[in-house]
C-alpha cells in the first residue's frame, strides 16, 4: 500500500503579498467608483426634485391663469 502525502495547508491569514496587492488595487478602483456614482445619484435626485417643483409651479400658474380668465369672462357676462 502506497502512502499519498497530504497536501500542504497554507494559512489563510495573513494574506500573501499578491493577494494583498490585488485587494488593495480593487479597493482603489471600486471605492472611488462607488463614491462617484453615489454623488451622481444624489445630484440627479436633486435635479429631478427641482424639475418636478418647477413643473408643479408652472401647473399652478397655468391653473390660476385659466381660473382668472374664466372669472373675467363670467364677470363680463354679468355686466
Domains of the chain, by residue range, sit at 27-79
Please name the residue that has the C-alpha cell 440627479: 44
Please name the residue that has the C-alpha cell 381660473: 67
CB 15, CB 23: distance < 8 Å: yes
- Rounded distance, CA 67 to CA 48, Å? 28
- Rounded distance, CA 48 to CA 56, Å? 12
- Rounded distance, CA 19 to CA 10, Å? 13
pTM: predicted TM-score of the whole model, two decimal places: 0.35
Q: Where are the alpha helices (DSSP H) in 1-79?
A: 17-78
pLDDT digits (tens, 9 = 90+) for 2-57: 777 776 666 666 666 666 677 777 777 777 777 777 788 888 888 888 888 787 77
Amino acid at each position: 500500500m502506497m502512502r499519498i502525502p497530504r497536501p500542504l495547508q497554507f494559512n489563510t491569514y495573513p494574506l500573501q503579498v499578491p493577494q494583498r496587492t490585488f485587494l488593495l488595487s480593487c479597493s482603489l478602483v471600486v471605492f472611488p467608483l462607488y463614491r462617484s456614482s453615489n454623488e451622481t445619484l444624489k445630484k440627479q435626485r436633486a435635479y429631478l426634485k427641482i424639475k418636478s417643483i418647477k413643473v408643479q409651479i408652472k401647473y399652478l400658474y397655468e391653473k390660476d391663469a385659466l381660473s382668472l380668465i374664466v372669472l373675467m369672462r363670467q364677470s363680463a357676462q354679468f355686466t
